[in-house]
Amino acid sequence: MFFCIFAKNFRNIFIKRRNMGKLALYKYVYFLSIVLTFGLTVITISGALAGNVSPKLNMFMTVVGLALPVLLIVNVVVLLYWLIRRRVWCILPLVALLANWHYISATIQISASGESPDGYMLKVMTLNARNFVDDDQDDSVDEIKNFIDDESINVVCFQEYRDYVTGRPERISNFFSSIFPYRAVSGSVATFSKFPILAKDYVTFRESNNCAQWVDLETERGKSVRVFNVHMQTTGVNSALHQAAKMERQGIPVDNGQRAAMVTNRMGYEYIRRAEQADILSDIVKETNVPMVLCGDFNDTPASYTYKRLKGRMKDGFKSAGKGYMYTYRGAKGWARIDYIFHSESLGGVRYYSPEKDWSDHNPVIMEMNLP
């Protein structure tokens, strides 16, 4: 009898302590979840501010801005977690998402907010042409020209432009002259226009093959519109990988850690150079007092310093006239928007789109605007 009572008491004590242990573990996990949610919120909000800080001053903010797509997805998951549990901590990821609305809206638009065309249109296309070599390593010039003609585009800005293509006897600039009587070719960028070019200039960057140009066009309404065609500094990823491959061919072993370090260091260096280039162009844009279009390959995301600096007082064409999910770099599995068209407010956005094409590792970006 005594043994039964003792066993029963011992069992009750054991169950009570086990439950206390579970409660303590639950409280610890709950507390840890709150801490991690708070940390995630702080980091994600700092990503919203990345575009305001030059990589020369704070590289951490730049890296957070680059990681923003992943951070936002994690915040959505955490938001759902706290909503299911009906806890007040759902406010934290919600605040983080709202703080980054400028980035989200630069990538996703539920419905187009463009204006109606009023009869006088400026239709601009920008394309990193990759020297006019398509995915199959064939000449892409004919397909590009036919597309431009079908779309009735009146201004085209090319980056990674090459006037001579292997196997093609005619210069590219002469080939496009049948639809574009006016052109400006500067280094690796070229602008073709159906409107007369009144003035132009070429912008070089220190110790870089990248460059920019601007042209002043006399449009149908007799108004001058300045079009900037820019190709910003590369990300450096491919260069770092090529360097690692070269070292291996020379018999120098390169492990994954070394390869990652080479990529990271090169990206940081190129971020700083790209920021310097954005500062130079921004000063030119500020001095322009006519309606403007600024387009090209920025090699950077909407969370970046480059995007924020170049956009300045202009509008992002996708926000003013786009719809759906926008990406432009085909080599990043459909998540990177790095090619843009910005415009002055007086050039009302009508339509903005980026069709999937295999002419290059970039898709073309096209925008229709009402002339002022």
Superfamily of domain 112-370: Endonuclease/exonuclease/phosphatase (3.60.10.10)
Predicted local distance difference test score (pLDDT) of residue 3:
47
Q: Is the pLDDT of residue 355 over 90?
A: yes
Lowest mean pLDDT among 32-41, 262-271, 333-342: 262-271
Q: Is the pLDDT of residue 34 over 60?
A: yes
pTM of the model: 0.89
Predicted local distance difference test score (pLDDT) of residue 78:
97
Q: Which long-range contacts (CB under 8 A, 24 or more apart) does 104-110 make?
A: 104/72, 105/319, 106/302, 106/307, 106/316, 106/318, 106/319, 106/326, 106/337, 107/302, 107/325, 107/326, 107/327, 107/337, 108/324, 108/325, 108/326, 109/318, 109/319, 109/322, 109/323, 109/324, 109/326, 110/323
Residue whose structure tokens are 């926000």: 319
- For 115-160, write each residue's pLDDT tens digit: 777 778 899 999 999 999 999 999 999 999 999 999 999 999 999 9
> Which sign, positive or negative, has the C-alpha torsion 332, 126, 159, 215?
negative
Predicted local distance difference test score (pLDDT) of residue 174:
93
- For 320-348, write each residue's pLDDT tens digit: 999 999 999 998 777 899 999 999 999 99
Predicted local distance difference test score (pLDDT) of residue 6:
43
> Which sign, positive or negative, has the C-alpha torsion 141, 147, 148, 150?
positive
Backbone phi, then psi, for 182, in 5-degree steps? -120, 140
Q: Is the pLDDT of residue 18 over 70?
A: no
Report in angstroms the alpha-carbon separations of 33 from 11, 70, 301.
33, 19, 30
Predicted local distance difference test score (pLDDT) of residue 223:
86
Query: Sorting pLDDT into bands at 50, 70 and 90, what band is 45?
Result: very high
Mean pLDDT rounded to a whole number for the chain: 89
pLDDT mean over 1-22: 52
β pairing state of 292-297 and 224-231: parallel
Q: Is the pLDDT of residue 203 over 90?
A: yes
* Contact call for residues 48 and 103 (beta carbons, < 8 A): yes
pLDDT mean over 287-313: 96
Q: And the tokens for 254?
A: 């390169």
Query: Sorting pLDDT into bands at 50, 70 and 90, what band is 260?
Result: confident
Lowest mean pLDDT among 20-24, 227-231, 354-358: 20-24
Predicted local distance difference test score (pLDDT) of residue 253:
77
